[in-house]
Structure 1
Amino acid sequence: MKQKSHLHKIFQGALILTLSTLIAKILSAAYRIPFQNLVGDTGFYVYQQVYPLYGIGVTLALSGLPVFISKLVAECKTQVEKESLVRQLLQILFVFAAFLVIGGWLAAPTLATLMGDEHLTSTIRSVVLMFCTMPILAVSRGYWQGQYNMIPTAISQLIEQIVRVTIVISVAVVASQQRWNIYKMGTFAMSSAVLAGLVASAFLVPSIWRIMIGTRSRQPADRPLWGLVKRLVIEGGVVCLFAALIVLFQLIDSFTVKRGLVAAGVASIDAKALKGVFDRGQPLVQLGLVVATSFSAVLLPSLTTSRLKRKIIEFQRIYRSALHICIAMSLFATVGLIALMPQINQLLFANQNGSGALAISMINIVLVALITTYSSVLQSLNRFSVTMFGLAGGLITKMLINFNLVKHFEIVGAAMGTVIGLLVTLLIIHAALPEQLRRLSTDRNFSWKLIGTCLLLFGSVKMVDIGCVNIFGTDRVAALPTVIISVLIGCLVVLGTVMWWQLFSTREIVTIPGGKRILKLINRVRN
């Protein structure tokens, strides 16, 4: 009975955290569209140049270190040991945070120069201050997750995102009305990360205050500090780096795209605007990934459980279901966005500049979705080193080719560089899968049906798009009915084709959230 109650608590907590993460991701992607509309491409460039540094901080405070810390907390046998661990982690991370803040503040002029724009110094300095809040956020979230209580993490995550988005949009409104300098706007917008972190910390501190100020006489002998530091750096570092996959690729763009455009002969002010145009693709990719990975993410935790119970057939079935759902959803999102890209660009950003580069960037949705699925499988098999090797291979490839690609093909080259780098990561990770799982990855019947569905999707959406453009026109207002009608037709085509060709098996449909209702609908339509 206790075992069932414990499992129920774990799954309930995982569901709460998944839902809050999805909401936070949608907020994180969606706010950048009105933000760009308010500050323009050049203002968006300033914000996005420094955004990867914020993304790294978020990984440390939310999706990377808390996961590892929860593992350390779960390893402790008594509550007293857990409290002792929390004290040590806070000490270590406060030192680490001080190093990051001081080092980042002093290195800001150098980082700005390497990015090709020394005026970014103040913006970089405003964002590195967010690392001050990282110890409290990471340790508090990790402690409660280790206790299988996901509610503090979920609420603090939503609070942090809502506060930050509110401040960023407010700054953009004031900056556009008062005609602020774009760098002043960027500095104030990035200060939202610090303020949001402080608010989230204020929410979390009371829950671990007793541990922070408790008497040391209650504590057992602390574990060796160096051993804990080593685990944080090596094991925690692996988790953090892979959680920051997209952000790390964006960081390379921050150092190479603007400089590459200037090297290609583009004037500095035009290069900033072009980089801002290229950055339009990031919220679209992020939203596409929310759609692509939300279904398969529900299945992935079950892989570890099946492996630990040595249920080989169940493990393979879950893997196959997760892979099919992941590939299908990510391809549908990718194909739909590519087919509609000029009109989506027009609708969201008021013009069609850079539509070719943005269309190429949409390929990242399916690549990242597959990388996430494959790496989750390998991690469930305790093969962490292979995933890190794959990530390193992709990042090194991106670093080696990006500047020259941008120099020759401008922002189209930057989009190509990310696609090639992610493809290298995907190939390395896929090659590391066990032979049985690789065979399950090559289902010809499923592949042909999926290709056919994607071709029908692209063709139908493109035809509707062309027809609507002829009827409504090409301006921003006209793009709204064009996009809405095209999306509805695309969804109907996908739904009809998936049902007619039976793309997913009955078991796969049932595993999707709300799958039983979908199955009943399919049976009604067929009958």
Structure 2
Amino acid sequence: LGWTVYQTGTAAMSGAVFGGLCAYGILHYYEQKIHGGALSFRRFPLFKQPSKPLIRRFLVEGGLVSIYSGLLIFFQLIDSFFVKNALEVYGLSEYGAKIAKGVYDRGQPLVQLGLVIATALSATFLPALTRHLTNRIYRQFLQTAKIYLRLTTALALAASLGLALLLPYINYALFKDYAGNAALVLFVFSIAFTAVIQAYQSIAQSKNSFRPSLKGAGWGLLIKGLTTSFLTGLLGTAGASLSTLLGLGVTLWYFVRIETKELNAFWKERHFGRKLMFSLLCMTVVLLLYYGVLNIVFGPVTHRSTAFFVSVIGVGIGASVFIYAVIRLRLFTVREWLMLPFGKKILRLNKKIKK
């Protein structure tokens, strides 16, 4: 339309407003259908002074949810201060550093998309965890928390690895070049770290444990801030991605360290870790074979539309192989499958295949 990049960006960002209004409309419709308007704003005294304990809970608990939902955005804020200057130290010109930083920022929307599942699982499990603790059913709480961690870890690792393997084609489909592949491949593994961190944080919050969660985020941000300039100056944008993984790794390590051995044992129970690694290996091998066949038969991809279709087919192949391996190895119990979106349909499909 002949707009400037700023006008185009403004129009693109306005999609968030319209998307939010659409989401509100859907939720309002179902609230009316389920509760008959009992949760309408009209029924709440908006201008009444809330109690101090409620304000404190709102700030502490709401603040923690905000921090961990936007943890990668805080990391991106640190990048905005340090990465461009560090890239000049790495040897790029000022203009080249700006371009490289823009390429590096391509990873953010991809990672945020991958974290949608983790956020949905958090919203599903947090009320159940809190209810079990309120009713003092610790055994049920522990079992539910382990299920939460198993589902989150498996889905987040599969999403990270699948995205990393398909990233060259996704990069070309979205931006018409292969620039920054190494940095972006590293960066997408932050999906796995962030998703598992969110799971541990939700479990801690359900136990009304807030200070350790703040410390965990603080340690992660500190490590990210201390290592970004050094690693970026040494390795370029790949170093910036590595500093993000280091910061998230420290936060995750902190949560694992403060949790009980019983909870952390989820990785070893029923050989979960070994089965998950084998399932991921199966997916990796099949996707690499898919890559090889494409390169031999069709050669390198030169059109964005082709790269897009190759990516979509790759997602379907990778997801199918992973789900098949997970079912065959019995990585999840029937109860765990039923907690997943489309889990019931996958189980039905599996029964039909066996017949």
State the TM-score, normalized to the length of structure 2. 0.84
- Superposition pairs of residues 241-256 of structure 1, within 5 angstroms: 241-256=67-82
Instruction: Give the aligned partner of residue 277 of structure 2.
Output: 451
Structure 2: which 5+ residue stretches go unaligned? 29-39
Is 1:474 aligned to 2:326, yes or no? no
Residues 515 and 491 of structure 1, relative CA distance in 2, 3 Å threshold: closer
Letter in 2 for 1:335: L
Instruction: Letter of the 2:301 partner, please give it.
Output: T
Kept after mapping to 2: 8 A contact 1:328/1:450: yes
Q: Which residue of 1 aligns with 2:268?
A: 442
Q: What residue identity is the alignment partner of 1:447? A: G
Pick aligned residue for 1:386 from 212, 218, 227? 212
Partner residue of 2:116?
290
Q: 1: distance between equivalents of 2:263 and 2:190?
A: 23
User: 1:293·1:326 contact (CA, 8 Å) conserved in 2?
Assistant: no
Contact 1:291 1:333 in 2 (8 A): no
The answer to whether the 8 A contact 2:149-2:266 is kept is no
2:86 paired residue number: 260
CA distance in 2, matches of 1:198, 1:512: 24
- The aligned residue for residue 512 of structure 1 is 340
Query: What is the correspondence of 1:300-315 to structure 2 with a 5 Å cutoff?
Result: 300-315=126-141
Cα RMSD for the two superposed structures: 3.1
Instruction: Return closer, same or farther for 1:350/1:441 CA change in 2, 3 Å cut-off.
Output: same
Q: Report which structure shows greater RCO (CA 8 Å, sep ≥6).
A: 2
Matched, 1:498 2:329: no
Report which of the two has the higher share of helix.
1
For residue 505 of structure 1, what is the amino acid of its counterpart?
T
How far apart are 1:444 and its partner, in Å? 6.2
Deviation at 1:265, TM superposition (A): 2.8
Corresponding residue SS for 1:494: helix
Answer whether contact 1:292 1:333 (CA < 8 A) is retained.
no
Distance in 2 (CA, whole Å) between partners of 1:433 and 1:520 is 36
Amino acid at match of 1:247: I
Instruction: Determine the structure 2 residue equivalent to 1:363.
Output: 189
Change in 2 beyond 3 A, CA 1:410/1:244: same
- Hey, what does 1:410 align to over in structure 2? 236
Kept in 2: contact 1:394–1:424 (CA 8 A): yes
Unaligned ranges ≥5, structure 1 = 1-173
Equivalenced residues, count: 338
Q: Kindly name which structure, 1 or 2, has the bigger radius of gyration based on alpha carbons.
A: 1
Distance (whole Å) between structure 2 residues aligned to residue 235 and residue 498 of structure 1 = 35
User: What residue number does 1:131 align with?
Assistant: none
C-alpha spacing 1:191/1:415, structure 2 compared with 1 (3 Å): closer
Seen in structure 2, the aligned counterparts of structure 1 residues 508 and 488 have a Cα distance that, compared at 3 Å, is same
Q: Is the 8 A contact 1:300 1:322 kept in 2?
A: no
The offset of 1:189, in angstroms, is 5.7
Q: 1:457 Cα shift?
A: 0.6
Contact 1:398 1:420 in 2 (8 A): yes
Letter matched to residue 474 of structure 1: V
Q: Report the Cα offset of residue 497 of structure 1.
A: 1.0
What one-letter code is carried by the residue in structure 1 that aligns with 2:87?
A: L
SS at match of 2:115: helix
What is residue 97 of structure 1 aligned with on the other side? none
Q: Residues 130-209 of structure 1 correspond to what in structure 2 (within 5 A)?
A: 174=1, 177-178=2-3, 180=4, 182=5, 184-185=6-7, 188=10, 192=14, 207=41
Q: What's the counterpart of residue 147 of structure 2?
A: 321
Distance 1:296 1:496, change over 3 A: farther
Mapped contact 1:469–1:482 kept (Cα < 8 A): no
Q: Would you say the 8 A contact 1:295–1:513 is kept in 2?
A: no
| Counterpart in the other structure of 2:316 | 488
The CA deviation at 1:192 is 4.7
Letter in 2 for 1:400: L
- Quote the Cα distance in structure 2 between the aligned partners of 1:331 and 1:210: 42
Distance in 2, Cα, partners of 1:482 & 1:187: 28
Where does residue 105 of structure 1 map in the other structure?
A: none
1:433 matched to which residue of 2?
Answer: 259
